[in-house]
Amino acid sequence: MPNYKLNTAIAYLKGVGPNRAILLKSELGIHTFGDLINFFPNRYIDRTQFFKINQLQNNTSEVQIIGKITTIKTVQQKRGSRLAATFTDGTGTMELVWFRGAKWIKDALKINTPYVIFGKTNFFNGLFSMPHPEMELLVDYKKSLRTAMQPIYPSTEKLTNKGISNKIVSKMIQNLFEEVQGDFTETLSASIINELHLISKKEALLNIHFPQNQELLTKAQIRLKFEELFFIQLQLIRKKLVRKSKIKGFNFEKVGDNFNNFYTNKLPFHLTNAQKRVLKEIRKDLGSNAQMNRLLQGDVGSGKTIVALLTMLIALDNGFQAALMAPTEILATQHYNSLVALLEGLNISIKLLTGSTKTKERRIIHEQLENGTLNILIGTHALIEDKVKFKNLGIAIIDEQHRFGVAQRSKMWQKNQLPPHVLVMTATPIPRTLAMSVYGDLDISVIDELPPGRKEVKTAHRYDANRLSVFKFLKEEIAKGRQVYVVYPLINESEAMDYKDLMDGYESIAREFPLPNYQISIVHGKMKPADKEYEMQRFINGDTQIMVATTVIEVGVNIPNASVMVIESAERFGLSQLHQLRGRVGRGAEQSYCILMTSFKLSADAKIRLNTMVDTSDGFKIAEVDLKLRGPGNLMGTQQSGVLNLCIADIVKDTQLLKKARAIAIDVLTKDPLLKLPENNFIRIAYQEISKNSTIWSNIS
């Protein structure tokens, strides 16, 4: 049975009380005994060695000394005062100094009583000093749960200022161990523990907080990391199995006239093998009686839209309607225009619904949706308004889904008695480790080849000093009839500065590319939508040769004639953004180029990002580098799912452990889907506890 003491409110733990409890909740999210036991150190310090004062070296390493305080005095200084104590160990003397909390520290210090002190030393005027030392009476030191490796816990400025030091947190955890008397229920089956040579849960918790040596610390970390990843995988895979067995979906039995007619007579190019493979996976889902919930990953320009259209045509062939939801009006309009062109001459009704759709047109759309005469609806968030009701929505396709919140996505399938099939598309390649963790409950398809005839975009990194030669190159491209993007970063906190950068850039380009020989469009976030649309349209029509813009053009715009992408201050962009921007060119048959402009001052991370962009155009390789640089929480906005609030595991560093955890979770659930077998008792009880306390699993996908 689980130890229910772990559900006790943290205020009731000896040494905490109501005031500290409030701080622990607000600063660290610690509400219960269980939260505190799972609050793990982020590093350790070796406390096995003691120094004598006459052995101290003039460096900044941390040292531990046994000695006594002989005198204490308060020293006035320009701002306030400091507390200073003389400390001796028989081989020499040093000074202990406090700049904060002098009053209560002075009252607590004992003269001529042996202490163990620990901290960093400073050397000034021939004397060593130690500011804000960690101190413990030697008698207490000998009695306490002692460890060779001292744990250092994450902290905040507010906790430090309120006197909740590392030592106090460690003491709280020691009190907790005494309170629960080491009664920690096992959470894994004996077979998993034996197979992976893991230590027990009880041993792992003791050695993560009070490691006896380096070897036991490593074993504790492996055990707890595996467990954390295993239960995440167990929840995701179980959710997927439940969905497949319980959530019935429409059975699209046939591939009929709409699909066959389009495929035979209208398809503008031969499908790549990757597109054919993905279509096969989708068709299998659509005919399985279970609701499809599939993530379609494909780099910019890999042909996801055609796959989406063919999927919609299968829904139409089976008497259902289809919807495609995009995150921005520009992208929704582009999808609409390209699908209208592709479906020209076929008897298929298709409409666009966005925030700008006029009331009269809206009424017509609502009416046609409900009576079933409208086959395909493309739109933005407007599609999930309560007023929008379908007669029989069979497939919902969501583009660039990480821009939609969980609640918005789930609204899409509340429009029917049976949930529609769902196909989620993204041009942001997701590394496999992240996909396994965040989208482990989805089936994943990948289009990993570009259509024939697509040339790889050539990428170069140039410094501001090379600007004249870059301008010369742009003129040569424009002379060939091509068009150019020049993109400036937009970072919200400094909009005034960004706007200035953009306008300065626009002016220098206007001087270099003067009227009437050159026409320039400009697009930025402060413009009215109608003005933005007008400028975009001029560029699309080829009336302007250069588009100067902030990142508003990152998603969507398809202009085959644009062959050069210049990214200004490229060091200020993330890797996935740079990759998305590069994907705006290379859409025609001509050779395209991406030029990354930066100053000479670059951070180490910025150099890695720029070199990666120059070296590869493989979105998955880029995503792997991005994941290593930024960590999982910041990639793709995965914070919204809450999946990756990991206590100890790291999906970048612990990839092998993650794969192992997933494989074992699949194996356990394949043999015992309901975790009813006696050998899985511990797993079932832990799983129920986690599911009960977790609000994040209802609608990840």
pLDDT, one tens digit per residue, over 633-666 is 544 444 334 445 678 887 777 888 988 999 999 9
Q: What is the pLDDT of residues 325-342, one digit of tens each?
A: 988 887 888 899 989 999
User: Is the model's pLDDT at 93 over the cut of 90?
Assistant: yes
Domain hosting 468: range is 458-616
Structure confidence at residue 78 as a pLDDT band (50, 70, 90)? confident
Asked whether residue 431 carries a pLDDT value surpassing 80, the answer given is: no
Q: Which residue has the higher pLDDT, 441 or 116?
A: 116
Q: Is residue 521 part of a domain?
A: yes
Q: What residues form DSSP beta bridges with 486?
A: 548, 566
Tell me, yes or no, whether 184 lies in a domain: no
pLDDT in tens, 514-541: 989 999 998 887 788 788 888 888 998 8
Q: Which of 217-226, 240-249, 330-339, 397-406 has the lowest mean pLDDT?
A: 397-406
Average pLDDT value for residue range 372-390 = 89
169 vs 241, which has greater pLDDT?
169
Give the integer Cα–Cα distance in Å for 363 and 698: 34
Cβ contact 379:405 at 8 Å: no
Q: What is the DSSP letter of 88?
A: E
Per the domain annotation, does 678 fall within a domain?
no
Q: Which residue has the higher pLDDT, 436 or 606?
A: 606
Q: What percent of the chain has pLDDT over 70?
A: 89
Distance separating alpha carbons of residues 84 and 98, to the nearest angstrom: 7
* Single-letter amino acid code for the residue at 555: V
Q: Is 358 domain-assigned?
A: yes
- Residue 566, domain member (yes or no): yes
CATH number of the domain residue 369 falls in = 3.40.50.300
pLDDT over 90 percentage in the chain? 47
Q: Is the pLDDT of residue 691 over 60?
A: yes
CATH of the domain at 75: 2.40.50.140
Rounded Cα distance, 205 and 34, in Å: 11
Task: For residues 502 and 607, state if they share a domain.
Answer: yes
Report the number of distinct structural domains present in the chain: 3
Structure tokens at 326: 């995009």
E strands, 108-228, are: 115-120, 122-124, 127-131, 134-137, 149-152
- 507 and 462 within one domain: yes
> Do the bridges between strand 62-76 and strand 115-120 make them parallel or antiparallel, or are there none, so unpaired?
antiparallel
pLDDT at position 641 is: 42
Residue 249 is predicted with a pLDDT of 84
Whether 485 and 581 map to the same domain: the answer is yes
pLDDT band for position 125 (50/70/90)?
A: confident
Position 491 in a domain = yes
Highest mean pLDDT among 1-5, 183-187, 365-369: 365-369
Q: Is the pLDDT of residue 401 over 90?
A: no
- Across residues 267-272, what is the average pLDDT? 87
Amino acid at 68: K
So what's the pLDDT on residue 98? 92
> What is the mean predicted confidence (pLDDT) over 670-675?
92
Cα gap 14→207, rounded to integer Å = 22
584 pLDDT band (50/70/90 cuts)?
confident
Segment 142-162 mean pLDDT: 81
Output the pLDDT for position 402. Answer: 52
Q: Are 164 and 26 a contacting pair, CB within 8 Å?
A: no
What type of residue is 362?
A: R
Sheet holding 350-353, edge to edge: 350-353, 376-379, 321-325, 393-399, 421-426, 293-298, 443-447
pLDDT surpassing 70 at residue 555: no
If one compares 227 and 617, the residue with the highest pLDDT of the two is 227
Q: Quote the CA–CA distance of 495 and 551 in Å, as a whole number.
A: 13
- Tell whether 542 and 592 lie within a shared domain: yes
**CA nearest 282: which of 316, 314, 257, 259?**
314
Residue ending a domain, among 586, 616, 646, is: 616
Classify residue 393: in a domain, yes or no: yes
Domain identity same for 339 and 480: no
Cis? peptide before 516, omega within 30° of 0:
yes
- The residue among 146, 170, 185 that closes a domain is 146
Residue carrying the six token digits 């990839």: 655
pLDDT surpassing 90 at residue 39: yes
What is the mean predicted confidence (pLDDT) over 44-58? 84
Instruction: Kindly state the average pLDDT of the residues 547-569.
Output: 79
- Pick 73 or 5 by higher pLDDT: 73
Long-range contacts of 492-501 (CB under 8 A, 24+ apart): 498/550, 499/524, 499/526, 501/568, 501/569
Strands (E), 179-222: none
The residue out of 146, 165, 190 marking a domain boundary is 146
pLDDT at 53 over 60: yes
pLDDT at res. 309: 96
Residue 101 included in any domain: yes
* Token pair listed for 526: 């402060």
Average pLDDT, the chain: 85
